[in-house]
Amino acid sequence: MEDQKSFSYSFNQKNNMLVVSLTGEITSHVLPSLEACRQELQGKHEVSRVVLYFQDVESISMDAIPLIAQIQREIRSKPADLRLCLKENLREKLVRMGVVRGLEVADDLKTALLSF
C-alpha cells in the first residue's frame, strides 16, 4: 500500500477555461474521489473549454473507465470543448478502447491550451 501513489485533483480556472489536474494512480480505491471531482465539475456552468490533465497518471483501472467516460460526456454536454492530456502509453490504450477521442487528446498542457 505504501508504494501506491495517492490520488488528488485540482481545478484551475481562468475566465471560461478550466484545467482539471489529476495526479496519482486511478484505481478502484480512489473512485469516491474521482466521483467528487465529477460532481464538482458539474457545478462549473460558466466554462466552455475544459482540459483534463492526467498529470502523473500512469494507469487507470478498468473499473474507473466508465466514470472517466461519463465525465467526458458531461463536459461535452455543457456544451464545452474538451482536451485530454495523457501519457503516450495511456493515450494509445484509451483511444484504442474507444474511451477517448483521438482528436481531443494533446501531448502536453501547453498544446492542449493552444488548441482552443
Q: What is the mean pLDDT of residues 64-89?
A: 94
Question: What is the number of other CB atoms lying within 10 angstroms of the CB of residue 97?
Answer: 11
pLDDT in tens, 96-109: 999 999 999 998 99
CA distances from 109 to 1, 27, 53, 78 (A): 30, 23, 7, 22
pLDDT in tens, 20-34: 999 998 999 999 999
Element (H, E) at 53: strand 49-54
